[in-house]
Amino acid sequence: MSLVKQQFQQLQQAYASCPYPSYQQRQQQLSALRQAVTAHSSALCQAVSRDFGYRSIDETRLLEIMPSLSGIDYQLKQLKGWLKPEKRHVHYSFMPASNRVIMQPLGVVGIIVPWNYPIFLALGPLMAAIAAGNKAMLKLSEFTPATNEVLVSLCQQALATEVVIIQGDADIAAEFASLPFNHLLFTGSTAVGRKVMQAAADNLTPVTLELGGKSPVLIAPDANISDMAKRILFGKTANAGQTCVAPDYVLVPAAQLEPLINALCQGFQQFYPDFASNPDYSAIINPAQYQRIMTMLQHASSNGARVISCDGKAATANSERRLALQLIVGASENSQLLQQEIFGPLLPLIPYDNLNDALHYIQQRPRPLALYLMSDDNATQQHVLQQSHAGGVCINDTLVHVAQHDLPFGGIGPSGLGNYHGKEGFLRFSHQKAVHQKGRFNSGQFIYPPFKRTLFKALLKWLTR
């Protein structure tokens, strides 16, 4: 038996010894996790920067440490209420009786963590699993070994008997996905998500898939371009665009295309002055990802697309794997740029003449993880919300909807399956057990055989009238 399977069975045994942790136990575990995150925060930030080649410490604190801590705080504040049994209605024909729903832990849950946000995308699902009373097994990315080392230490300090961390390559990941978890949550690409779902199906393991896709920005005709440009920039340049909900392309009124280009370039230079030496901008995580992005950019340029580098200098390969935001106009519809998730600092701009044409463009493509609408017009907002599908929508901003702990987060169709965060995370890792309870008097006796009884026939006639 492999080590991975042994560790899984040990977690199963640990759960069997305590299948319903009390509120106090869960509260203690979440508090211990919070303390450990705080204690390890500097080490985590340094480790992520090493794994990426460079990532701003401030950016990691903003995008990973802060939402992890505030997420735990939210869980601690709400958990007692979530655990209360929920009363449900009883039909009068079953009286006297009571109905209620209780939240029961699922058991041992698996969490597969990607490389792009290795802290938050490990701790976010983990805090939900712990709040729901489960044991958890995490498979961390092989591309973030330094961060993994700190996360192992953190979990050993806070949740030594609740969590097992697995590291390794694709073969280990495949073995991990094939374990008979009580639930499996995967964050990553759509292609790998399909394989994870296939592996889980052999065990009838329910899955939550947090994927990605091409999240559009739709700039309505009424939008203020100069105001919206910086909001788009924040979502696209955070982590150098290596974010599953980063804006993937922008639909802009044709008359506003050039003003948008100017506003994005000016905003970028304000965000990241002296780009070549700016300490706030992240590197692309590894040479393979960097080459993929550069190839995509070069292909677009060689096929006639217009490329604008927001730092004012032509993009060239460099050993630091840093690439300023590149705006692309006129990319071919068949190009990788418009067919695949970009996951980097490339931003196609697509002009349109009519808002409904832009909305149709979105509707004709796979449903995205996020949709960003830039408009102050209420009628436009309602029209787009009603006529589009997306995992989540953010109006007049980008990215920050993910940090709203009281909103569910998840994809739809090829961008994901199921959601979590906040209460939805607690529900995702819980079984809503239905309980119907009767007392000494049994009202059911009136519907027992033999059915030829006069009283039964009269009762049945009355109930089906």
Structure tokens at 198: 């296939």
The answer to whether 284 touches 293, Cβ cutoff 8 Å, is yes
**Residue 244 annotated to the active site:** yes
What's CA 214's distance to the chain center, in Å?
Answer: 14
Structure tokens at 375: 């408009």
Catalytic residue from among 244, 265, 310, 394: 244
Pairing between β-strand 370-374 and β-strand 249-253 as defined by DSSP bridges: unpaired
Pairing between β-strand 430-438 and β-strand 97-105 as defined by DSSP bridges: antiparallel
Catalytic residue from among 59, 64, 162, 210: 210
Q: Residue 183: which of 164, 169, 197 has the closest Cα?
A: 197
**Residue 210 annotated to the active site:** yes
Handedness of CA 34, 35, 37, 41 (dihedral sign): positive
The residue with tokens 């995702």 is 428
Spatial CB neighbours of 29, under 8 Å, sequence gap ≥ 6: 21, 130, 158, 159, 162
For 318, other C-beta atoms within 10 Å of its C-beta total: 11
Task: Report angle CA 138, 150, 20 to the nearest 5 degrees.
Answer: 40
> CA–CA separation, 463 vs 465, rounded Å?
6
The answer to whether 347 touches 249, Cβ cutoff 8 Å, is yes
Rounded to the nearest 5°, which phi and psi values hold at 434? -85, 135
**Residues written for the chain:** 465
Q: Among all residues, which ones are annotated catalytic?
A: 210, 244
